[in-house]
């Protein structure tokens, strides 16, 4: 997707290891979001950011932390990965929710074994 890149695209990790997913944008948008998508659960918000160093929790934030030290990067960290965190993770960005909603990245498929 233009202007937003998620890395890695795929990752397999072991239970108990730390994992960091990266979302990078070139749009200079204020808002950034992390969602997870699991069968039967739709899109669930993990954390979001409304500016550099400004973040807030979503509905499924337990076990996750985030950081945003500069406008273009929003990092999602699983401090100690568990099998329940196996999922597809999507980053989204927005300049103005009222104007254009979100632009989503292509996703990161994470498998915790």
Partner 1 sequence: GENVEQHPSTLSVQEGDSAVIKCTYSDSASNYFPWYKQELGKGPQLIIDIRSNVGEKKDQRIAVTLNKTAKHFSLHITETQPEDSAVYFCAALYQGAQKLVFGQGTRLTINP
Q: Is 98 in the site for partner 1 (CB under 8 A)?
A: yes
Q: Is 56 in the site for partner 1 (CB under 8 A)?
A: yes
Contact segment (CB under 8 A) with partner 1 among 18-26, 66-74, 77-85, 102-110 equals: 102-110
Token pair listed for 90: 């999507």
Strands 108-112 and 10-13 turn out to be parallel
Residues 6+ apart with CB under 8 A from 67: 55, 74, 75, 77
Buried b vs exposed e over 35-44: b needs ≥16 C-beta within 10 Å? bbeeeeeeee
Q: Is 81 in the site for partner 1 (CB under 8 A)?
A: no
Between residues 78 and 90, which has the closer beta carbon with respect to partner 1? 90
Q: Which residues bind partner 1 (CB under 8 A)?
A: 1, 31, 33, 41-43, 45, 48, 50, 56, 58, 90, 92, 97-98, 100-107
């Amino acid at each position: 997707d233009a202007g937003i890149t998620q890395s890695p695209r795929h990752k397999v990790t072991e239970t108990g290891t730390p994992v960091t997913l990266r979302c990078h944008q070139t749009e200079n948008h204020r808002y950034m979001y992390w969602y997870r998508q699991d069968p039967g659960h739709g899109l669930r918000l993990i954390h979001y950011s409304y500016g550099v160093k400004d973040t807030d929790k979503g509905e499924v934030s337990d076990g996750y932390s985030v950081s945003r030290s500069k406008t273009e990067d929003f990092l999602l960290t699983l401090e100690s990965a568990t099998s329940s965190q196996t999922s597809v993770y999507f980053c989204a960005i927005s300049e103005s929710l009222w104007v254009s909603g979100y632009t989503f990245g292509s996703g990161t498929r994470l498998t915790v074994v």
